[in-house]
Chain A
């Protein structure tokens, strides 16, 4: 786990009730981030290793990870799973990782990466795809002349 900036801190833009009860505010310094991470590890009895992102939020930005995101890194350093950000992408990402790991443990070899597909809708960056109302538009249908092969 990589612990990053809070998603719903009590003094943030979109606080949740339990953040106020637990006193979870935007991290002012590294110590506070570590304390809140420790609270998570204790309350949810996490057994996986927990790393703490620095206050420069560099790794968070590099992975475009806020508020939460799942990745699976293969042994060659490439991404096998890169879920959408936020709650919408989390469960699918978890499921995709489970399936990948199952295939890996059964066959002993890492599943191949899918071939790079052309992007017809030109959506490109998926970083904003979890936001409601953005990035989920239907692809632009080709016009009749394009279908006929006329440019």
Chain B
């Protein structure tokens, strides 16, 4: 004979397990269309609630999408808070500004330098990241030719 209370409690238990597992860590919450993947739009929506004021979604998505398949699996999604904190702190190896703002920033033109002006001093790392070169270190020793450029 079918026992109502047992059936109900088993069903409720099953439902609770399913929602708990799927909703764990917010992945289920973020995955609005239930395709088991979080895309960039879903990430942005989810983050707008959790971390208002965070804007660097492009950088965050790129940081999280390890296999570069254009969407985040549950495993990739799990690292979002740590990655977001890294981006906000501007740690080396993470981008502080999305691509477009970085380009604009690079093209800003303050007052032009002319012959006779004092060359702005700087300390920059070499390609292997080991040595840091200070322009001032050449003062009184050698003239320096600076060639600014890029591959393209």
A-B contact count (CB 8 A): 200
Partner of A36, one of B92, B139, B150: B150
B4 interface hit (Cβ, 8 Å):
no
A108 interface hit (Cβ, 8 Å):
no
Instruction: Take A30-B93, A59-B120, A78-B117 as given contacts and tell me if A73 and B106 are in contact as well, using a CB distance cutoff of 8 Å.
Output: no
- Chain B: how many interface residues by the 8 Å CB criterion? 52
Partner of B109, one of A28, A54, A128: A128
In the complex, per-residue mask of A79-118: 1 if CB is within 8 Å of any chain B CB, else 0: 1111000000000000001001100100000100110100
Q: Which residues of chain B are within 8 angstroms of A39 by Cβ–Cβ distance?
A: 151
Report, nearest first, the 6 A-B pairs whose CB atoms are least far apart: A65-B148, A127-B112, A5-B106, A68-B149, A8-B152, A51-B124
Interface-side segment among B9-17, B75-83, B96-104: B96-104
Question: With A and B bound together, what is the CA distance between A48 and B116 in angstroms?
Answer: 25
Q: Decide: B150 and A7 in contact? CB cutoff 8 A.
A: yes
Q: Decide: B116 and A62 in contact? CB cutoff 8 A.
A: no
Binding site for B on A (CB under 8 A): 1-9, 11-13, 15-16, 18-19, 22, 24, 26-31, 34, 36-41, 43, 48-82, 97, 100-101, 104, 110, 113-114, 116, 125-128
Q: Decide: A70 and B124 in contact? CB cutoff 8 A.
A: no
Instruction: Take A77-B139, A79-B114, A81-B115 as given contacts and tell me if A68 and B147 are in contact as well, using a CB distance cutoff of 8 Å.
Output: yes
Q: Tell me the nearest residue of chain B to A84, going by C-beta.
A: B112
Q: Decide: A52 and B127 in contact? CB cutoff 8 A.
A: yes
Q: Decide: B106 and A79 in contact? CB cutoff 8 A.
A: no
Q: Which residues of chain A are within 8 angstroms of B146 by Cβ–Cβ distance?
A: 2, 63, 70-73
Q: Decide: A64 and B106 in contact? CB cutoff 8 A.
A: no
**B18 CB → nearest A CB, Å:** 38
B34 interface hit (Cβ, 8 Å):
no
Q: Decide: B102 and A55 in contact? CB cutoff 8 A.
A: yes
